[in-house]
Amino acid sequence: MTHDGIGMAPRRLHMLWVLALWLLAGGIAQAASPVRAPWWTDLPQMQTTQVYGQTIRYYDVGEGPTLVLLHGLGSSAGFDWGTVIPELARHYRVLAPDQLGFGASAKPLINYGPATWVDMLGAFLRERGVTRFDLAGESLGGWIAGLYAVRAGQAGYPLPQRLVLVDAAGHPSMKPVTGQAGRDAVLPVLSRDSVREGLSRFVFHDPGIVTAEVAEQAFRARLAEGAQCTQDSFWKNLGGDDTVFLDRPALAGLELPVLVFWGAQDRLVPLANGRDFAEWIPGARLALVDDAGHAPAIEQPQAFLQVLLPFLQADPSAGDAVR
């Protein structure tokens, strides 16, 4: 995948292979991040519920309006959102599930795709009695959040009041060449060294975040989660349904405030994709965070919150809420 989101199939599939490992990315460090410790280990205890008979573990912290956070592929709610959940919980009731197939949630041996997680999200919200909420997703979570916003009304699911797409996947440029989606989507062997190299070389703009402790605990978490079969299934089925991609016709029908949020140094999901999303969604706002790769909430949490909170606190009916 090139920076404009359009490239030859082998290059695109190579980048998607990296995405399948972490679904996070970054470049060579230019400035230090304030994050230095394992940020996903000190969160409150997760709660448990059943959705379509499957065990879903999730964070439910704070009081106030409901904010739902969706993590990316091969990750978990704590890893992707742990740096900002405590502050967000001062203003909101934060619901952050480990999505089906990831983290501490159930991992049935099924064919996974964005539509799977959309349906799971809709049922999860109904099960929790949520009718009014804001929705934010990072990377694959952004893809799911966008697709959910597109499909929720017709499916009878509760509609979000605001939508935040953080370095979102799902751009039409990710569509694989016919017949090649599963053939080349091979995951690398999981090891402590591969985790450390993957995090420091691909995940973060500042590789200094990946201390020996972070690498050790991340490896331990990946072993415990056992989500590589989910990722493999996702990639093998990626080309099976073109209607799940976030293209212009789908996004043009959204009628809610939308913030498209991007790490300025994201080398995995190109900024050009974010610019397309912001152009295709009526009234959407594009915001960039400097010195951050594919996961700005992890790498620059304060800068992330300084943009996110005013957007969430603006009156969604006001004309300037998304300007």
How do the domains of the chain map onto residue ranges?
9-247+258-279+286-306
Average pLDDT over residues 45-64: 98
Its pTM stands at 0.87
Plot region of 52 (φ>0 → left; ψ -120 to 50 → alpha; else → beta): left
- What phi-psi label fits residue 263: left (phi over 0), alpha (psi between -120 and 50 degrees) or beta? beta
d(CA 63, CA 265): 34
- Please give the average per-residue pLDDT across 152-177, as a whole number: 95
Indicate if the pLDDT at residue 64 is higher than 60: yes
Radius of gyration of the chain (CA): 18
pLDDT band at 214, cuts 50/70/90? confident
> Class assignment of domain 9-247+258-279+286-306?
alpha beta
**Burial of 160: CB neighbours in 10 Å, binned 0-12, 13-18, 19+:** buried
Q: Which of 101-105, 190-194, 285-289 has the lowest mean pLDDT?
A: 190-194
Kindly report the average pLDDT of the chain as a whole number. Answer: 85
Q: Sign of torsion, CA 184 14 287 96? A: positive
Contact 97, 57 (CB under 8 A): yes
User: 121-159, pLDDT tens digit by residue?
Assistant: 999 999 999 999 999 999 999 999 999 999 999 999 999
- Residues paired with residue 59 on neighbouring β-strands, in sequence order: 96
Split at pLDDT 50, 70, 90, the class of 38 is low
